[in-house]
Structure 1
Amino acid sequence: MSAPPDLYGRRPTDRLWKFATRAISAYEVMTRFMRSETPEQPAKGLSMKLVVRKVKTEAEDVVSLTMSTEDWSPLPTWQPGCHIDLRLPSGTERQYSLCGDPEDRWTYRIAVRKLGAGSQEVHAIKEGDLVTVRGPRNAFPFIDVPRYLFIAGGIGITPILPMVKAAQDKDWHLVYCGRSRDSMPFLDEIAELDPARVWIRPDTEFGVPVSGKELLTWALPNTHVYCCGPAPMIAGVRVDRTTGLHYERFSPPPIVDGRPFEIELRRTGTVLQIPKDRTALDVIREAMPAVAYSCRQGFCGTCTTKRVDGGDMRICVDRGRGRIVLDM
């Protein structure tokens, strides 16, 4: 079967085709039910081999990947805010927000800006390549409320875009910021939304980065604010918004009121000093460059390490007092 031609990688979307595919799907589900079977679908959290069906340049240094199973079988369902873990050819894993259509059961879409070594590996992936994916998982849940303000900075549009599309029957506004229009992905899709509810705000057209107060122009008292972008943008929003704020950052969170402590690596007896302004992961990586980690924000679980006292430690974010002995 050839790759689907539409924006999200789906099959042709004319009404007759939609009716036919839904009828076939319904028939397959019914016959499986009659045979006391369940529709074949990968379990969430298990690794899946997916084929990259489409690679598209979405903006300057940003590409999107549209992926499906090899036989076009249904993928695990997801909701706006979900991400997947993508295992890269080097063996490292990175988390990327799903930015396609949750109603599309056959494909996943992610978009990645070229920044570091991991993203460079993603940009080297070509159509037809096999990739390993785990998920989807949701660390940025989208709740049902009457009024939303969506704020996205650059590649932070990826988890926000499906939320905006899901909120079309609600009172919503979107503020989308970036260095320049050329650097901002999915402007073509955003152009299809109600222009009265969207503010595209590139720095190059205003001369200065946007302030927190500007970002919150549409934030009425009963508005839930969903924000994703660089740390300074999120910090600016948090100064003026303390309730109804949901945010996801794509960089490690800053260390606030950190205290120094010690880490002992049980297998070698090495004792490491963790300063107040560094994470355990940062220091451990200097002694053990191959230590596993991914999100650096505490939610993926890749760096979780056993303590000798029986507990667990997410070495990318967790801190301690005195000396902590790790089973590593």
Structure 2
Amino acid sequence: MTTLQPTASAPDATLAGVRTLEVAARMQVAEDAVELTLRRPDGGRLPDWAPGAHLDLVLPDGRSRQYSLCGDRWDAHTYRVAIRREPQGRGGSVWLHDEARPGTMLGFAGPRNSFRMAPAERYLLVAGGIGITPLLPMVRQAEMIGADWHLLYLGRGLASLPYLEELEAHGDRVTVHCGDTDGRADLDAWLPTDPSVRVYACGPERLLDAVEAWAPRLALPPRVERFAARIDDRPGRPFEVVASRSGVSTAVGADETVVAALRRVGVEVITSCAQGVCGTCEADVLEGTPDHRDSVLDEHARASGTCLLPCVSRCLDDRLVLDL
């Protein structure tokens, strides 16, 4: 059994309130994906969550990885996550596939939710492969409230798609499209014409880019959740950052993040992915115009200028004041 004593000084994670979960069960849900059922070691109640939420799982070497909760939100004593094996990734998924067994202890923080399911009468859900994980609880929620919904589920082949058996019970509300038998999907054929439809999507970058391209033709912008950060190679420029509650200010170098600059002068900022993907470090902006470079905030949040993710985002003005 692998035991973890989480610390806040993990190599790529600084997590507040890190706790411990035990792997209670493990199940293969696709050819390259496993589901882990997690519980508190004492069997106690876990924090509540809503569709779209994710956990930070902390591995024994301190690496932190984010996985969407895909189980029953009304089960107060277990969490479920599904993990696709990524041999070319950063190693977290491979470790969990190879080492996580019933009895393995993992640190965790959260749940957190930057992909919330807003109320609507109609939904179009678009999943690519393991991207089904945050959408599966949305399917259950839509069913529970009696909303009209449809799921477009894409993948390389049937063997690569988790939870097909569960989804088959919904009949023609679910459309499965596999590249090995159906060819490349014509996503624009799924562009909603009903202005009341809310679109949620999760999956590979190319799929999400195509869904986001629908935005000018939709009454409500699509919401997407990315597994990887967008590449933003725009050059930075120096500016001043002020942590108002801490009473500290410092210069942010052209090649330095706001988080790194603040930590340099003793202001700790809670981070997890440090790539603008998870939303852990979101901070309120009191002064200055954010230069958003994250993959989390929707267009409304960006346009409001009232928050930013300091792990990647910057400032368009000479001075940025944060509520930190």
| TM-score, length basis structure 2 | 0.69
Kindly indicate whether residue 229 of structure 2 is the aligned counterpart of residue 261 of structure 1: no
SS at match of 2:36: strand
Find the counterpart in structure 2 of residue 223 from structure 1: 197
Which contiguous aligned blocks of 4+ residues in structure 1 show a shift greater than 4 angstroms? 271-274, 311-316, 320-324
Distance verdict in 2 for CA 1:295–1:197, change over 3 Å: farther
Q: Is the 8 A contact 1:65 1:109 kept in 2?
A: yes
Counterpart code for 1:98:
L
Counterpart code for 1:204:
D
Kindly indicate whether residue 151 of structure 2 is the aligned counterpart of residue 174 of structure 1: yes
Q: Is the 8 A contact 1:96 1:110 kept in 2?
A: yes
Kindly indicate whether residue 34 of structure 2 is the aligned counterpart of residue 63 of structure 1: yes
- Greater relative contact order (Cα 8 A, min sep 6): structure 1 or 2? 2
Q: Is the 8 A contact 2:281 2:311 kept in 1?
A: no
- The structure with more radius of gyration: 1
Kindly indicate whether residue 195 of structure 2 is the aligned counterpart of residue 211 of structure 1: no
Looking at structure 1, the residues matched to 52 and 202 of structure 2 have their Cα atoms a distance apart, in angstroms, of 10
Looking at structure 2, the residues matched to 198 and 162 of structure 1 have their Cα atoms a distance apart, in angstroms, of 14
Distance verdict in 2 for CA 1:130–1:76, change over 3 Å: same
Looking at structure 1, the residues matched to 142 and 128 of structure 2 have their Cα atoms a distance apart, in angstroms, of 19
Q: How many angstroms does 1:60 deviate by?
A: 1.9
Kindly indicate whether residue 314 of structure 2 is the aligned counterpart of residue 319 of structure 1: yes
Looking at structure 2, the residues matched to 219 and 175 of structure 1 have their Cα atoms a distance apart, in angstroms, of 16
SS at match of 1:237: helix
SS at match of 2:209: helix
Kindly indicate whether residue 15 of structure 2 is the aligned counterpart of residue 47 of structure 1: no
Percent identical: 36
Kindly indicate whether residue 63 of structure 2 is the aligned counterpart of residue 92 of structure 1: yes
SS at match of 2:96: helix
| TM-score, length basis structure 1 | 0.69
Kindly indicate whether residue 130 of structure 2 is the aligned counterpart of residue 159 of structure 1: no
Structure 1: gaps of 5 or more residues: 1-44, 265-270, 285-291, 305-310
CA-to-aligned-CA distance 1:128-166 (integer Å, 9 cap, x gap): 111111111111111221111111111110000000111
SS at match of 1:167: helix
Kindly indicate whether residue 124 of structure 2 is the aligned counterpart of residue 149 of structure 1: yes
Q: Is the 8 A contact 2:53 2:111 kept in 1?
A: yes
Kindly indicate whether residue 84 of structure 2 is the aligned counterpart of residue 113 of structure 1: yes
Structure 2: gaps of 5 or more residues: 1-15, 241-251, 262-270, 284-289, 291-306, 320-324
RMSD: 3.4
Kindly indicate whether residue 273 of structure 2 is the aligned counterpart of residue 294 of structure 1: yes
Looking at structure 2, the residues matched to 303 and 224 of structure 1 have their Cα atoms a distance apart, in angstroms, of 24
Distance verdict in 2 for CA 1:302–1:223, change over 3 Å: closer
Distance verdict in 2 for CA 1:80–1:272, change over 3 Å: same
Looking at structure 1, the residues matched to 224 and 117 of structure 2 have their Cα atoms a distance apart, in angstroms, of 11
